[in-house]
Amino acid sequence: MTRCAAPALLLLLALVAHDAAAPQINGRADLVVAILFTLFLWAATLYTLLVQGGLTWTLTRWFAVPLGLPITAYHLGRHAARWRHDPHGGGALMAVLALHRRPEREPAVAERLQTWLAANPLKTAGLVANGLRYALHGERDLARDLLQAALTAEADRPSTLAATYAADWLCADAAARGAWDELIDLGARPIATSRGAAFLIAVARRLLGRGAPSPTDAGLRLAWWLAPRHSLTRPLLLRALAQPRVLHRSPAPPPPPPPPHEDPPLPQDPLPRALALHARVLLAAPLALRLQPARLGDACRAWDDLHRSGLIHQLTAERALHLGVSARAEAVQDAFFAEVAADLAAISERAALPLPQALAAADPAEPTPGAITERAIAQLRSRLLTELEAAIDALDACAARPALPALDAWREWERLRQLHHRAAALGGTALRQLVFPGLHRSACNFAVWLWNERKEHAIAAPIFRWLLAEAEHVGDEAAITLQRKNVGVKAS
């Protein structure tokens, strides 16, 4: 209210003064006074119109951004009433949007952008601006993480414009990668999406036939017509229309049919057979999607059987005699199985496929791991724990660095969260319970530090929420109580 009242009062005063002075202009001094009054009058009028009347926003949105004028966009944008809770972040967001319109990278402008973004504390608009800046630099993974985090931070106030920009970019990114189910997830969140994003989400729903009712042909066409850039999106529209509409979600997606395999026949001898199965898994592992759990399970089983059979022992003993290293035969055999186990652990990690699950898929009747698989499981678990320990240590170290920019603090947290996500997928609840006490201690301290000392509420709040969810999963009563309090207090 006061922001509106003050300029209005000024305007009124100026008008009064102008009128009062007008009839008595005689002499030079009076003329100067009159000119100053007039200038003041105009400035006040302009300010009222620009800031309070929404003209700044209009100019930014429809003039500075489309023309690719980042500096103008920043200075106009930060005065827009829309960003009054986060002028720096809002201005920077507008500047990034303008930069996206420029045909090439401009390091000088990017540099200035970074200084604007360094302003603390970081709020949603700032997070989104940072995310879009990373997108501009081609760091798509980082951009995706940051924008996802911005949406999480917005969980309580999902309707802001910054969240819409974030959702738009995430939609575009998912569509560009063909990850249509991510689009469906985005569509399910309570975010005001733009018309372009709405069209992409509709296409996703039609293509996959799930997530809200699959749109009709007419619905699709309408969404397309409302979205911009018709010529660009027409092929996608046609592709979606070609997909038959699914009215009910099929009860369960059919398991991917075993590919009609061009696999060479497996050798008969146990060692070459195990090696061939191993190679087959490795061939599929770089593209985790192609690795079927049963295949990994088969390989594990083959190694376990080979180990149990004692064949390698016999083989190494014979050859060692020939090569004159009989004394080392045992060590060589050990080294060989250690390398096999290391490979299996690496494959399991890369494919995010737990080995027990793979074994069960290969032979549900015999899911118990043998010696080699056990070794691989233990090795992977110890690796994940070490990684997590290091990430927790790094988080602890953050609080000792008061100059740490908010975004870097967020990245430390984000790295730990992702690592935990990966480790949890591989190690299951057992591993989550194992790491939770230490993780909770460090992460909670970190978030409290961010909230209390750094006032970085946009970053700290999602951490509390995450901790609450994790505490609930592992069933840590004390942590649940604490985090409920934190989430409750912080959200108010």
Partner 1 sequence: MSTSPHQAIQPFYVLGLAPAATRAELEREAQKLLGMLELGLSSAASYATPLGPRQRTPELIRQAIAELRIPERRLLHELWAALPAPAPQPQPQPAADPSPGAPYRDHPAAPPPPHTPQTAPAPEAAPTFPGAFELFAWRRP
Partner 2 sequence: MITAPRYVGIDLGTTNSTAAVFDGDRVTLVRNAQGGHLTPSIVRIDARGGLTIGARARRYLESDPENTRSEFKRLMGTGQELLFPASGRRLRPQELSAELLRALRADIEEQFGFVPDHAVISVPALFELPQSDATAEAARLAGFQRIELIQEPIASALAAGWTAEESAGAWLVYDLGGGTFDVSLLETRDGLLRVIGHDGDNFLGGRDFDWALVEWALGKIKEQSGLDLSRADPAHAPALRKLKLAAEEAKIELTRAERTTLSIPALTLHQGAPYDLDLPIDRATLERLCAPIIDRSVEVCRRLLAAHGLAPGGLDHVVMVGGPSVTPLVRQRVSAGLGVALSDGLDPMTLVAQGAAIYAATAGLDARPSASDVQPGHRVWLHYPAMSSDLTPHVVGRLVEPKAPGAPTQLRLRRGDDLWEGPWADIDAEASFILSTSLLARRANVFRIEARAADGKPVEVSPPAITIVQGLTIHDPPLSRTIGVALANDQVRVYFERGAPLPARRTFTLYTVAGVIRGSEDDALKIPIVQGEYDEAHFCRLVGALVITGKDLKDSLPSGSEIEMTLELDRGGRLSARALIPALAQVFEDVAQLLVPLADPEVLAATFDVVRGRIAGLRADAFRRGAIAQLDRLSAVQADLDAAHVDLEAARGGDADAAQKARRALLEIDADLEQLELDRRWPELDREARESTIWASSWVSELGLPHEQRLLDETMKALDKARQERDPLELQRQLRLVSRLGNTASLRHPEAWSRRFESAASEISGATDLVKAQALVKEGREALARGDQGALRAVTQKLWQLLPSDVERRRLGYDSGVR
CB of 113 to partner 2, least distance (A): 12
Check binding of 12 to partner 2 (CB under 8 A).
Answer: no
Whether omega for the bond prior to residue 253 falls within 30 degrees of 0, making it cis, is: no
Comparing CB distances to partner 2, the nearer of 228 and 428 is 428
SS3 content of the chain, % helix, strand, coil (to 5): 75, 0, 25
Of 168-207, binders to partner 2 (CB under 8 A) are none
Comparing CB distances to partner 2, the nearer of 330 and 393 is 393
CB of 119 to partner 2, least distance (A): 15
Of 426-455, binders to partner 2 (CB under 8 A) are 428-430, 433-434, 436-438, 441, 444-445
Check binding of 323 to partner 2 (CB under 8 A).
Answer: no
Angle at alpha carbon of residue 117, lines to 115 and 121, rounded to 5°: 120
CB of 290 to partner 1, least distance (A): 9
CB of 340 to partner 1, least distance (A): 8
CB of 374 to partner 2, least distance (A): 7
Q: Which helix (H) or strand (E) holds 119?
A: none
The residue ranges of DSSP E strands in 85-130, in sequence order, are none
Angle at alpha carbon of residue 19, lines to 15 and 22, rounded to 5°: 135
Q: Dihedrals φ, ψ of 87, to 5°?
A: -60, -40
Comparing CB distances to partner 1, the nearer of 412 and 476 is 412
Q: Please identify which residue in 19, 327, 402, 492 interacts with partner 2, judged by CB under 8 A.
A: 327
Q: Please identify which residue in 171, 391, 423, 426 interacts with partner 2, judged by CB under 8 A.
A: 391
CB of 208 to partner 1, least distance (A): 7
Comparing CB distances to partner 1, the nearer of 307 and 490 is 307
Tell me if 203 sits within 8 A of 195, measured CB to CB.
no
Q: Which stretch binds partner 2 (CB under 8 A): 9-17, 266-274, 341-349, 408-416?
A: 408-416
202: burial class by Cβ within 10 Å (0-12, 13-18, 19+)?
A: buried
Q: Please identify which residue in 168, 298, 349, 476 interacts with partner 2, judged by CB under 8 A.
A: 476
CB of 408 to partner 2, least distance (A): 5
CB of 434 to partner 2, least distance (A): 6
Comparing CB distances to partner 2, the nearer of 252 and 327 is 327
Distance CA 443, CA 491 (A): 18
CB of 8 to partner 2, least distance (A): 44
Q: Which stretch binds partner 2 (CB under 8 A): 14-22, 166-174, 202-210, 378-386?
A: 378-386
Check binding of 33 to partner 2 (CB under 8 A).
Answer: no
**Residue burial 289-317, b: 16+ Cβ < 10 Å; e: rest:** eebbbbbbbbbbbbbbebbeeeebeeebe
Binding site partner of 227, from partner 1, partner 2, none, Cβ cut-off 5-8 A by kind = partner 1
For residue 197, CA distances in Å to 8, 167, 203, 353 come to 40, 8, 10, 33
Q: Which stretch binds partner 2 (CB under 8 A): 86-94, 153-161, 209-217, 411-419?
A: 411-419
CB of 336 to partner 2, least distance (A): 17
Distance CA 227, CA 1 (A): 37
Q: Would you say the C-alpha torsion 20, 22, 25, 31 has a positive or negative sign?
A: positive
Binding site partner of 172, from partner 2, partner 1, none, Cβ cut-off 5-8 A by kind = partner 1
Check binding of 154 to partner 2 (CB under 8 A).
Answer: no
Distance CA 48, CA 52 (A): 5
Largest CA distance in the chain: 120
Q: Please identify which residue in 32, 49, 192, 390 interacts with partner 2, judged by CB under 8 A.
A: 390
Q: Which stretch binds partner 2 (CB under 8 A): 273-281, 304-312, 332-340, 377-385?
A: 377-385
Torsion angle, CA of 299/303/308/314, rounded to 10 degrees? 140
For residue 30, CA distances in Å to 16, 18, 20, 44, 312 come to 16, 12, 12, 21, 108
Q: Encoding tokens for residue 478? A: 């004390």
Q: Encoding tokens for residue 369? A: 């791991």
400 CB contacts (<8 Å, ≥6 apart)? Answer: none
Check binding of 343 to partner 2 (CB under 8 A).
Answer: no
Residues that bind partner 2 (CB under 8 A): 114, 137, 139, 142, 327, 374, 378, 382, 385-387, 390-391, 393-394, 396-399, 401, 403-405, 407-408, 411-412, 415, 419, 428-430, 433-434, 436-438, 441, 444-445, 476, 478, 481-482
